[in-house]
Amino acid sequence: MTVTGFFFFSIAAVVLISAILVVVLRNPVHSALSLVLTFFSLAGLYILLNAQFIAAIQVIVYAGAIMVLFLFVIMLLNLDKEKRVGEKHPLQKAFGIAIAVFLLVALGSIVAAGVLYGNKGIHTEARVSAIGNTKAIAGLLFTDWVLPFEIASILLLAAIVGAIVLSKKEL
Amino acid sequence: MDLVIPKIDVVSLGPELILSIAAIFVLLVSVFLPKGRKDPAAYLSLLGIFFAFVSSIFLWGNPRYSFNNMILVDNFALFFNSIFLIAAGLSILMSVNYLEEQEMSHGEFYALILFATVGMMFMAAGSNLITIFLGLETMSISIYVLAGFFRRSNKSNESALKYLLLGAFSSAFLLYGIAMMYGATGTTDLKGISEYLSKAAYLKDPMLLAGMGLLLVGFGFKIASVPFHMWTPDVYEGAPTSITAFMSVGVKAAAFAAFVRVFLYSLWNLQPDWNHVLWILAVLTMTLGNVVAISQNNIKRMLAYSSIAHAGYIMIGMVASSELGTSGILFYMLAYAFMNLGAFGVIILYGRKGEENLDINDYSGMGFKYPGLALLMTVFMFSLAGIPPTAGFVGKFYIFSAAIKSGYIWLAIIGVMNSLVSVYYYLRITVMMYMKEPVKEFAGLKWSPSMAIALIIAVIGTLLIGIFPSPYLDLARQSVQLFM
Amino acid sequence: MIPLSYYLILSAVLFTVGVIGVLVRRNAIVIFMSIELMLNAVNLSFVAISKHLDSLDGQIFVLFVMTVAAAEVAVGLAIIINLFRNKETVNVDEINIMKW
């Protein structure tokens, strides 16, 4: 096994185990902490995929900002362990798992081929590493993709206004 | 590395820019308005909507790509823009007094409606999956908040939570579909995808088909098609009524705009594959919506199921996959906007804080006590049921005849049978209003100028489109000409 | 060199775990976290495909997905806090004035 292979399989194992723990653990705080672990290890996979900028913002935005918000809210609400998991709705649970397994088989068999026929782009690995991953992304973001970038700013403004409207004590 | 800035064509963004600026203005101005008297904010937003409408008219007939093919401002997008603006404008007019009565009059409400409208416009104009996705999220996030805007009401909270969880769940599916599309074709540009598929060599690529299926699930959630409709009744029932009206028209129209653009344009070469699925979904959606609507006793829930059924009729236009079918969709959406907003307007006017009068039995005897309001409701119910001479009839007529012309005779027959079923529950309200004794006392209506204007616009729209449909049908035809 | 299909399969499995979480769990916050898992699975697909196709579009897409996820979480948690203030619960089974 090559070095990258070793890294891939160990990180993938961590990703999977921690993702399953998110779903299985009863205590929301534990779920949130294993989600943090999932996010961190995904950042590792992004580095293996040569996407350093995405790896960095994965840690900063996801593991940093988003999960802190989750943990903050869980602790603020002082949630207990979830009771009655699966007791009230065994049928629903079975149904959910059946759908999910079907989805897994369908998606898995489709992606397992792993052949992409799509048109190749111009950003080969050599080219990107000559420019630098972050710089290359920034270059695209502020030229070809500038409109989505601006829409994202409207989206964030709407989200800020919305979050304040909903959670402020006195409006 | 040199940066080549693409041509910035600000004019093509006119309506979106005007609305965003208006929304920010509304936020700023409402800070200085006295508590509980925020109606100037509403009028300011209406002004923004008016100017956005004007700028849409100026862009008409001059299709152009801009921002590196991120958006395509063509008549199709502009036609939908006018539907969104009508929906937003009428919902705002209906909200002014409603919010004051519920003691929830805040400027942010109107700003969020405007932000949601901006998102819808980007969905209709988007010619790249990223623009459509971001537009969809801008719209959805604003609507999540608006659905939960009555913060003290448990029902409103519940509606927001359900919409949020299922909406986010469905956008994950949509996103996975986009990822697979990207993997299979190497681009997220709608034109690029369509050019790639025109080579026909890779049409059986499983990843492509899976991507298409996931996109179908994602859009299916937003248009409330069976089997992705479970959220609709609860969300529609719990949300503030003016927001329910806005959701049932605006969100549905925006989702259909993107759905049509992606499936009938980009994935046109896969049409034989998706057509069967859509056929089945259309039948299920119509039938389930209509059958379940019969047994509803809450009028908002009934209209929620009715909106599911209407999504089914509109899907027939997509199955027909012809120019006639697509222009039928546009026409139907316009007609639906007027009649549905009108019906919700009557519901708002007939209720008050603590006494919402949402049970269907509350409508009995309304014809004697408030003849004017009952007459309006009758027009809207007739139109929703598809009885001439209303807009609903003409819309259904065009959609069904498009289906027949494309050879889907059975589909048209099922559609007609469904609209016969729907006559039962729409007319039930009319019968209640005119043929039953009132069951309870009601303290009188609180007419307000803005609500009166909204209802008058809605009823004029419903009748005008129903009696003189041809100019609107021409507009709808012009909107799809460049399309296929 | 890891084949692309490994990444895509990992992403499909991760997505499925997220779907199971949404369908099985009853705590609104945990459901929300499962949705984040699904979004991350999609992100992984995007980055892997982006590398394979020599195009950066996928990575830019991921950037926007993260933006959207952050906005959705902010609004979503505000809704959940609001609900908790009124009802003292985040269990979706107890949130049922209206039938599902």
Mean pLDDT of A78-83: 66
User: By C-alpha distance, which of A153, A80, A3 is closest to B137?
Assistant: A153
CB atoms within 10 A of CB B160: 32
Structural domain tally of chain A?
A: 1
A146 domain residue, yes or no = no
Task: Write down the residue that tokens 């540009």 correspond to.
Answer: B189
Instruction: Answer whether residue A134 is part of any domain.
Output: no
Residue A40 forms part of a structural domain? yes
Judge: C71–A112 Cβ closer than 8 Å, yes or no: no
Residue B483: its pLDDT value, please? 56
Residues of C in contact with A148 (CB under 8 A): 60, 64
Chain A residues within an 8 Å CB radius of C28: none
> Which of A113, A136, A155 is nearest residue C5 as measured by Cβ atoms?
A113
| Highest averaged pLDDT of the listed ranges A109-113, B480-484, C14-18 | C14-18
DSSP reduced 3-state for B16: helix
Position A118 in a domain: no
Subunits in contact with chain C (3 or more CB pairs closer than 8 Å): A, B
Measure CB to CB from residue A117 to each of B148, B151, B202 and give the nearest one. Answer: B202
- For residue C61, which residues of chain A lie inside 8 Å, CB to CB? none
pLDDT tens for each residue of chain B, 484 residues long: 567 777 777 888 889 999 999 999 999 998 888 887 788 889 999 999 999 999 999 988 888 888 888 888 888 999 999 999 999 999 999 998 888 888 888 888 999 999 999 999 999 999 999 999 999 999 999 999 999 998 888 888 889 999 999 999 999 999 999 998 898 888 888 888 888 888 767 677 788 888 888 999 999 999 988 888 888 998 998 899 999 999 999 999 999 999 999 998 888 888 888 888 999 999 999 999 999 998 888 888 999 999 999 999 999 999 988 888 899 999 999 999 999 999 999 999 888 777 777 888 888 888 888 888 889 999 999 999 988 888 999 999 999 999 999 889 999 999 999 999 999 989 888 888 888 877 777 767 778 888 999 999 999 999 999 999 989 988 888 888 765 4
Query: Which pLDDT does position B35 carry in this prediction?
Result: 80
Question: Looking at beta carbons, which residues of chain A come within 8 Å of C40?
Answer: 38-39, 42, 62
- What is the rounded average pLDDT of the residues A127-138? 82
ipTM surpassing 0.90, yes or no? yes
Chain C CB contacts of B178 below 8 Å: 61
CB pair distance less than 8 Å for A162 and C29: no
Q: Would A85 be classed as within a structural domain?
A: no
Residue A83: what pLDDT? Answer: 58
State residue B388's pLDDT score.
Answer: 84
pLDDT of residue A85: 47
pLDDT for res B124: 92
Residue C76 distance to chain B (closest CA, Å): 7
B264 touches B321 (CB < 8 A): yes
Does a structural domain hold residue A120? no
pLDDT band at A112 (very low <50, low <70, confident <90, very high): low
* pLDDT for residue B482: 60
Residue B56 and residue B48 in contact, taking contact as beta carbons nearer than 8 Å: no
- Please determine, looking at this structure, whether the domain spanning C4-87 carries the CATH number 1.20.120.80: no
Whole-number pLDDT of residue A81: 64
Contact B106, B37 (CB under 8 A): no
Place of tokens 């950037």: C63
- What residue spans define the domains of chain C? 4-87
Indicate the pLDDT class of residue A86, thresholds 50, 70 and 90: very low
A118 and B1: CB-CB below 8 Å?
A: no
pTM for this prediction: 0.94
Q: Locate the chain A residue with the closest alpha carbon to B182.
A: A118
Q: Answer yes or no: are the C-beta atoms of C97 and B221 closer than 8 Å.
A: no
CB-CB under 8 Å, C27 with A79: yes
Taking residues C38-42, report their average pLDDT. Answer: 94
For chain C, give the number of residues. 100
Residue A147 has its nearest CB partner, among B24, B70, B160, at B70
In a domain, A28, yes or no: yes
Answer whether residue A133 is part of any domain: no
Is B113 within 8 Å of B88 (Cβ atoms)? Answer: yes
Of the candidates C10, C47, C72, the beta carbon closest to that of A12 is on: C10
**pLDDT score of C100:** 44
The CATH number of whichever domain residue A2 belongs to comes to 1.20.120.1200
CB atoms inside a 10 Å sphere around CB B377: 28
Asked if the C-beta of C59 comes within 8 angstroms of chain B's C-beta atoms, the answer is no
Annotate A129-149 with b (16+ C-beta within 10 A) or e (fewer).
Answer: eeeebeebbbbbbeebbbbbb
Chains that touch B (3 or more CB pairs under 8 A): A, C
